[in-house]
Every structure is written in C-alpha cells, then in structure tokens.
Amino acid sequence: MKEPVNIEDFREIAKRRLPRFIFDTIDGGAGDEVTLRENRSAFQNFTLRPRALADVTQRDLTTTVLGKAVSMPLLLAPTGAGRLVHPDAELLAARAAGRAGPESRPKVWSEQPRRPSTPRCA
C-alpha cells in the first residue's frame, strides 16, 4: 500500500494488521451503531481546504474550549482499551499529549498503574 494520507488509509492498514475482534472493537460502535453512523455522516459536511503557498512563518493554533485556553484545537480523550493495540498505548498517548500540550483528561479506568514517572494530564 502507498503511504497513508488520510483516516481511511490508516483504517485499512489497521484492518489488515489487527486481529479481527480487536479491529471490530476499535472500528465499531455500541449497540446498533446509530451514533457512529450519525457522526460519520456529520463529518461528511466538513471540507478541509488546504491553503497552498500561504505564509506560515507566524503560526498560532491557540483557541478556547469551554472557556479555557488551549495550545491547539486538539483534545485527547479516553479511548478505551488501548492495550489491545499496543501494551503502552495509554502511557505513550499521555507522553505525546504532554509534549504537544493538548488538553487531556485521564480515564476513570486505566490499564496502566499510576507511577511517579507517569505524566500528569491537565
């Protein structure tokens, strides 16, 4: 396969590489998947328009989410049983979030034990 460039490309790679029950858990939705279908349908209404040759010497991604300033319009939320895909998924995601600075909320239930070296999320 060519280099992945969009979500569907990464989805196809995951479908080929992961055991089926793990892929289905990640790719599917709860119950009859009504919310999943509605979310996918809603995102079809958005178009990303790349701006080629735009001046990017001064970049500022800061914005507000629920009245709180954040460094970029990206939120890291609990994603479920990350260990199904990688044994250190939660820890790696928390470290990446700490470096990048997006707003993050820890899960109530986690596969990772709390350790002093574990980054604290905002």
pTM of the predicted structure, to 2 decimals: 0.55
- Domains of the chain: which residue ranges? 1-53, 60-122
Each residue's pLDDT tens digit, 86-95: 888 888 887 8
Q: What is the pLDDT of residue 37?
A: 92
Q: What is the pLDDT of residue 80?
A: 66
Q: Name the average pLDDT for the chain.
A: 79
Q: What is the pLDDT of residue 114?
A: 57
Rounded Cα distance between 15 and 60, Å, is: 36
pLDDT at 12 over 90: yes
When pLDDT is averaged across residues 97-103 and rounded to a whole number, the result is: 68
Alpha-carbon torsion (24, 28, 29, 34), positive or negative: negative
Please name the residues in contact with 119: beta carbons below 8 A apart, sequence gap of 6 or more: 94, 95, 97, 98
